[in-house]
Amino acid sequence: MDTESNPTKAAEVASKLILQDKVDLMVVLHTPDTVNPVGATCERYEVPCISSVAPIESWLTGGPYKWTFHFFWNLEQVINVYTGMWNQFADKTTKVVGGFWANDPDGAVWAKEFSKKLGTMGYKVVDVGRFPYGMQDFSGFIGTWKKEKVDILTGVPIPPDWATCWRQCHQQGFIPKMASIGKAILFPAAVEAIGGNIPNGLTSEVWWTPLHPFKSSLTGGTCQALADAWTQKTKRQWTQPLGFDYAAFEIAADVLKRAGSLDKKNIREALIKTSLNTVVGPIKFNEKNFSLTPLVGGQWGKGKKWPWELQIVYNKEATSIPTTGKMVFPIPRS
């Protein structure tokens, strides 16, 4: 079912799946706008649910959960990855960070957590406030960032908003030394859509790559094999959500097998007892019904096989995941 990234639509289709299609187990993916309303619907009707691809803190705002089980990374990991990349060049920056956080569940939580944590790490945060999707003029934000001597940008916008802002930054002569952006530059196509060479050197958290050292619990295949199969079938470049989409169904298959029946309480008990090695790493849910997955840092640059390729440039908190390059600084964009 397509939620169209609309929270109201997500709740509606989840209700239909439960009440009309009589599903035994729900799987929901991609952003709090979809994951949270579907999880809430499953809680209401006591239907077991596996969810992913929404930061833990954003997901927890819909809790507490009894029937919904989530796996992904949290904002502490993201902050560690971002600052880990920035700290390599701390002596070459003002350590003033501009916040670019939208008026949505991700934006609200990221703004709160980043502002709180970065202040204790020696960074000054210039938060220009929440903004609505589709905003067309970021001149006011850019003027503030210039005035406050911001030279690092961070945020979690949707791709069109980041593309608009980043183009205007360059048009108005505001070119920060680093930009670490969640969500908006997740997909290679979104990076390419920004246009020209200005995406060069953008950094982000990296959830999954073909080089992650994990294997499928279903086939024993490597992450590289999964990515190769995807590219062979679709003729498209691998993307990070590929591993998490696949892992959600690894967990579903494992849970249904161990439950031994379609009784919803049995399925829930099997979820509670999950201990599974997947293509995104080991999954074991805690008392709050979530499991953390590893996170590293990456940087976009011109590719050899594809127009833009993501290099892993930081792995201090997850050393089993290999780096594929060194972070480029300063960043050539002309």
pLDDT, position 98: 97
CATH number for the segment(s) 7-74+240-292 = 3.40.50.2300
pLDDT, position 105: 82
pLDDT, position 334: 58
Closest CA to 202 of 298, 323, 296: 298
Mean pLDDT over all residues of the chain? Answer: 95
| pLDDT under 70: residue ranges of the chain | 333-334
Q: Residues 12-36: pLDDT tens digits?
A: 999 999 999 999 999 999 988 899 9
Strand-strand pairing, 276-278 and 281-283:
antiparallel
CA distances in angstroms from 73 to 53, 84, 296, 316, listed in the order given: 9, 16, 11, 15
pLDDT, position 132: 93
- Supply the pTM of this predicted model: 0.91
State the CATH class of domain 76-210+296-314: alpha beta
Render 237-286 in DSSP notation, one character per residue. Answer: ---THHHHHHHHHHHHHHHHHHH-S--HHHHHHHHHT--EEETTEEE---
Q: Where are the alpha helices (DSSP H) in the chain?
A: 7-19, 32-45, 56-60, 75-87, 105-120, 139-147, 159-171, 188-194, 223-234, 241-259, 264-272
The number of angstroms, rounded, from the C-alpha of 139 to the middle of its chain's C-alpha atoms is 27
**Where along the chain do its domains lie?**
7-74+240-292, 76-210+296-314
Do the first three CATH levels of 7-74+240-292 and 76-210+296-314 match, i.e. the same topology?
A: yes
